[in-house]
Amino acid sequence: MKRTHLIISGRVQGVGFRYFCMEQAEGLGLTGYARNQTDGTVEVEAQGAEDKLEEFIRALHEGPRLAQITEIQREDRPAVSRETEFEVR
């Protein structure tokens, strides 16, 4: 079980990016969250099997149709046991 923290930059607010994250995460069996930040980025924490996390991050590089991803910053973090789903905050 792995956990990663992501900051996604570009045109990622107002284009359905957080819900895209949730759809991708649920399909891969990941838990965590996605939320907008005041600086225009989206913060994501996701947890699950390492191969599923890598697949998730590849999908985020593409994003939904109207998004334009310019950068994804990644920091691995310790796994947590209290989550049961992926949510949009």
For this structure, is 74 an active site residue? no
Its domain, for residue 61, covers: 2-7+22-80
Given this model, what pLDDT does residue 81 score? 87
Given this model, what pLDDT does residue 74 score? 98
Q: Domain total for the chain?
A: 1
Residue 3 pLDDT exceeds 90: yes
Given this model, what pLDDT does residue 63 score? 95
Given this model, what pLDDT does residue 75 score? 98
Q: Give CA–CA dist 14/21, Å, rounded.
A: 13
Q: Of 35, 36, 65, 77, which residue is the catalytic one?
A: 36
pLDDT in tens, 11-41: 999 999 999 999 999 999 999 999 999 999 9
Q: How confident is the model at residue 82 (pLDDT cuts 50, 70, 90)?
A: confident
For this structure, is 36 an active site residue? yes
CATH of the domain at 32: 3.30.70.100
Q: Give CA–CA dist 78/55, Å, rounded.
A: 19
Q: Of 18, 58, 77, 82, which residue is the catalytic one?
A: 18
